[in-house]
Amino acid sequence: MLTEGDRAPQFSLETSAGGNRSLEEFKGSWLVVYFYPRDDTPGCTTEAKDFTAASETFGERNAKIIGVSKDTIEKHCKFIDKHALQVELLSDPSGDMIEAYGAWGEKNMYGKKSMGIVRSTVIVDPAGIVRHRFPKVRVKGHVDEVLNALDALQK
């Protein structure tokens, strides 16, 4: 299990911005990685819109935001266009990054257990070290929690 103080796992994934993105490209900036189950569902849409609304505030803190799910780039681009999102979305169809960052696990919906993406967030520092984890996220108020954690880490 990924814990605070660990080196963030490497990744190279296709991105909604075109091409691939890797962890190395974020060196020198704080990185907020949020994992979410699926594009264009109510909770995922709210979370993406909340991160979009706060993207300038994150930028003022030298922090980049990326969202990761198993959805295709085509779905990501439609999701971004439909909701005017300003966050970069990465596609992890194999689930390798999702698993490496501890965002894959058992979920329980209406008494039915299944494996899937557990909504979670990881803050990585400019040197590539995991500084904070939010293992099970509730969407309401989450972006503020992330900003507060980032502020505490940067003091």
- In b/e form, how buried is each residue of 108-127, taking b as 16+ CB within 10 angstroms? eeeeeeeebbbbbbbbbbee
Tokens of 58: 């994150």
DSSP code for 59: H
Q: Which residues pair with 21 in a beta bridge?
A: 13
* Active-site residue identified among 44, 98, 130, 150: 44
| Contact predicate 48/137, CB 8 Å | no
Is 77 among the residues known to form the active site? no
| Amino acid type, 44 | C
Dihedrals φ, ψ of 5, to 5°?
Answer: 100, -15
* Calpha distance 63→70 (Å, rounded): 23
Q: Are 68 and 121 in contact (CB under 8 A)?
A: no
Active site residue ranges: 44
